Amino acid sequence: MELVFVRHGRPQHVEDADGAADPHLADVGHQQARQVGEWLMGAGIDALYSSPMNRAMQTAAPFAEMSGMTPVIRDHLREFDHEGSSYVPTEVLKATDPEAYRERIAAGFLDADFDHVQFFHDVVAEVDRIVADHRGERVAVVCHGGVINAYLGRCLEFTSDDYMRFDVDYSSISRVMVSSKFQRSIASINERPHFEGHPHLAVRGV
């Protein structure tokens, strides 16, 4: 079967929310979601899954509306920052606090206080459950950079504490093929075919 991972579109910049930030998509993020939804319509998708976070569900929404599919929400597709009170898009952090950006890169984008090993195992187990339920099908999974990195890391047998190695842009596509015996192979990382003719939507960010 084929997993088509879709990273969410660009979210709003949220700082010091009262509780978890869980931002909605920015205007450009909604445009990205529409474009990726149109692309998915031609990709032969059999099922649609999504993280429960706002930015993922809103990215899945255009394709869900066009296709008539109802996204299946899975908790362990949510991002490792789901309890954070802030969300600063990478390009904003780069421009406003380059030192913090460099530190974030050096840390692999993972908070030292977060159990990223457990996160890794939870993600892999959740995605493997999706695989088991969709033998021979093509499934879109709308989620987050950390989730995609975790599963790609599992494909390449990276350790569970060193898997944040891939640059996946907002609303990019990454594909993984998984056999009935759970042999995993990466077909592509960070594809952005839906931005062709729409360069203003190619906003980079981790």
pLDDT tens column, 59-87: 999 999 999 999 999 999 999 876 666 67
> Which class in CATH covers the domain with range 2-201?
alpha beta
pLDDT tens column, 41-64: 999 999 999 999 999 999 999 999
- 206: pLDDT strictly greater than 50: no
pLDDT tens column, 119-163: 999 999 999 999 999 999 999 999 999 999 999 999 999 988 888
Domain ranges of the chain: 2-201
Q: Please give the model's pTM, rounded to 2 decimal places.
A: 0.88
Per-chain mean pLDDT for the chain? 87
- The pLDDT, as a whole number, for residue 174 is 98
pLDDT tens column, 23-34: 999 999 999 999
Residues 6+ away with beta carbon under 8 Å from 144? 7, 8, 51, 53, 55, 56, 77, 78, 79, 80
- The pLDDT, as a whole number, for residue 87 is 72
- The pLDDT, as a whole number, for residue 185 is 97
In the chain, count of helices (H) and strands (E)?
A: 6, 6
